[in-house]
Chain A
Amino acid sequence: SSLFVFDHKLTMKTCGTTTTLFCLEKLFQIVEQELSWAFRTTQGGKYKPFKVFYSRRCFLFPCKQAAIHQNWADEVDYLNKFFDNGKSYSVGRNDKSNHWNLYVTETDRSTPKGKEYIEDDDETFEVLMTELDPECASKFVCGPEASTTALVEPNEDKGHNLGYQMTKNTRLDEIYVNSAQDSDLSFHHDAFAFTPCGYSSNMILAEKYYYTLHVTPEKGWSYASFESNIPVFDISQGKQDNLDVLLHILNVFQPREFSMTFFTKNYQNQSFQKLLSINESLPDYIKLDKIVYDLDDYHLFYMKLQKKI
Chain B
Amino acid sequence: TVTIKELTNHNYIDHELSATLDSTDAFEGPEKLLEIWFFPHKKSITTEKTLRNIGMDRWIEILKLVKCEVLSMKKTKELDAFLLSE
Pick from A5, A56, A66, A160: contact of B51, CB under 8 Å: A5
Chain A residues 193 to 233 lying within 8 A of chain B, measured CB to CB, are: 194-198, 200-204, 207-208, 210, 214-216, 218, 221-225, 227
Most B Cβ at <10 Å: residue of A112, A119, A189: A189
A52 sits at the interface (CB 8 A): yes
Pick from A186, A195, A225: contact of B21, CB under 8 Å: A195
A308 sits at the interface (CB 8 A): no
Inter-chain contact B44/A35, CB cutoff 8 Å = no
A164 to B6, CA, bound (A): 8
- Beyond A23-B65, A50-B40, A114-B44, whether A180 also contacts B83 by CB under 8 A is no
User: Which interface class (under 10, 10 to 19, 20 to 34, 35 or more) fits A?
Assistant: 35 or more
Inter-chain contact B37/A9, CB cutoff 8 Å = yes
Query: How many chain B residues touch A (Cβ–Cβ < 8 Å)?
Result: 68
Inter-chain contact B49/A118, CB cutoff 8 Å = no
Chain B residues 38 to 67 lying within 8 A of chain A, measured CB to CB, are: 38-47, 49-54, 58-59, 61-63, 65-67
* Extra pairs beyond A7-B50, A22-B65 (9, CB < 8 Å): A2-B81, A4-B79, A114-B39, A117-B44, A164-B2, A188-B74, A190-B83, A202-B82, A216-B29
A46 sits at the interface (CB 8 A): no
Pick from B18, B52, B76: contact of A204, CB under 8 Å: B76
A118 to B41, CA, bound (A): 6
The smallest beta-carbon distance between A4 and chain B, in angstroms, is 5
Inter-chain contact A7/B52, CB cutoff 8 Å = yes
